[in-house]
Amino acid sequence: MTNKSAAGQDSFSERMIKILNYGALNLALAIGYRTGLLDAMDLLELPQTAESISQETGLNPRYIEEWLAVMVTGEIVELSRTPEGENLYYLPQHCGDLITRRAGNANLGVYTQEMPLLTVSAMEAVIRGFKTGAGVAYDNYPKFQEFMSQLADAKHVQILIDRFLPAVDDGRLVGRMQAGIRVCDLGCAEGVALMLMAKAFPRSRFVGIDISNDAIAKAQRETRRQQIHNLDFMVRDAAFLPDSLELKESFEYVTAFDAIHDQTRPLDVLRGIYHMLVPNGLFSMVDIAARSKLADNLDHSMAPFLYTVSLMHCMPVGLVDGGAGLGMMWGRETAVEMLTEAGFQKIQVLEMPDDPFNFHFFCRK
């Protein structure tokens, strides 16, 4: 072995140890987030014993103690001792600012759920996929879907009405929505974005389309509960929209939030959106901010994380029934190519307010 390769092996072995430790820390953080331990510790003004954290949270002290050992050795929680030698634990504020529910938009703690949930949902199916090439159906991911919906809810509530829509078409769209237009959200899931828009723009009419019966049933129940009268839903496979005569040129504005890259037939879906828009109609596709070539994503600070989410979810759900399996990191170049192929000629790729993870592909028919 040359000196150079020995040195390379040393530094890679150090990196591997870090990778194993960080993977383990992610899991323990996810447990701390789910159980509310991180939030509870964030509220403590002084270092506390495991026993008093147990009393505060109602959780078992032995489990807490073992969890705290991960947090302390992972340099997240600070360790000190009472004069009697008992361990005291303290979560510094600068950590709480990023990993608790109070952190709002800066909350990175919530994302620690993602890998454990994907592992539980699909690790075996994805490993089988390596041998068979088969996709993995959405039904495998109920917990992950629920988690993603919560994430999207939080994002839509904070950004959609106050920041995103006012910027669309240089501010012109909002006036038209106030006056009254027809708007469709494609892949609307449980309709969170639509309910917010329908309430904010009572003179406009809104339609949500999704393939999931369960999601649409939930959306309809919630719409009735909130007594929103300008919002309807349809269960449809968006790949067949180009065949739908009744939806031809029916909407002035269509949105698709995080709903195109995991389609099995994304080009047909985009053609369907083009078909549903009136001439000069507008389409906002919000999708992951990445480039299409792997080599162009090397400096993306979260590339391994995002490619792993894609490997475990977006790509396999997109491969079902011989689907395209684009994956989450299909990137702006492929997205623009596909939008062009679907018929759109005016396409702008814009940054999203307060959302470095996504681009706004703004298109005009």
Residues that bind ligand SAM (CB under 6 A): 148-149, 152, 187-189, 209-212, 215, 237-239, 257-259, 263
State the CB neighbour count (10 A cutoff) for residue 123: 11
For ligand SAM, the closer CB: 64 or 239: 239
Angle 61-62-64 from CA coordinates, rounded to 5°: 60
What burial class does residue 102 get, using C-beta atoms within 10 Å of its C-beta: 0-12 exposed, 13-18 middle, 19+ buried? exposed
Strands (E), the chain: 78-81, 87-90, 182-186, 205-210, 231-235, 251-257, 277-288, 346-352, 355-364
In the complex with ligand SAM, the residue whose CB is nearer, 28 or 270, is 270
Report the nearest approach of ligand SAM to the CB of residue 361 (Å). Answer: 14
Least Å distance between CB 96 and ligand SAM?
27
CB of 257 to ligand SAM, least distance (A): 3
Question: Between 109 and 187, whose beta carbon lies closer to ligand SAM?
Answer: 187
What's the closest the beta carbon of residue 256 comes to ligand SAM, in angstroms? 7
What whole-number distance in Å separates Cα of residue 54 and Cα of residue 40?
Answer: 10
Tokens of 185: 């959200």
Give the dihedral of Cα atoms 29, 31, 35, 39; nearest 10 deg. Answer: 0
Q: Shortest distance, CB of residue 239 to ligand SAM, whole angstroms?
A: 5
Distance in Å, CB of 182 to ligand SAM, minimum: 18
Give the β-pairing of 251-257 and 231-235: unpaired
Query: Closest separation between CB of residue 51 and ligand SAM, Å?
Result: 41
d(CA 140, CA 121): 6
The nearer residue to ligand SAM, 89 or 147, going by C-beta atoms, is 147
Is the CB of 110 or the CB of 152 nearer to ligand SAM?
152
Which residues lie across from 232 on neighbouring strands?
Answer: 207
Q: Which is it for the CA torsion 35, 36, 42, 47, positive or negative?
A: negative
| Least spacing, CB of residue 209 vs ligand SAM, in Å | 6
Complex with ligand SAM: residue 48 or 145, whichever CB lies closer: 145
Which residue lies nearer to ligand SAM by CB, 39 or 190?
190
From 200, 31, 6, select the one nearest 113 (Cα to Cα): 31
Residues linked to residue 255 through DSSP beta bridges, in sequence order: 185, 284
CB of 67 to ligand SAM, least distance (A): 31
Nearer to ligand SAM, 91 or 197 (CB): 197
Closest CB to ligand SAM among residues 27, 151: 151
What number of other Cβ atoms are within 10 A of residue 235's Cβ?
15
Residues 109 and 27 sit within 8 Å (Cβ to Cβ): no
CA-closest candidate to residue 357, choices 190, 140, 184, 114: 114
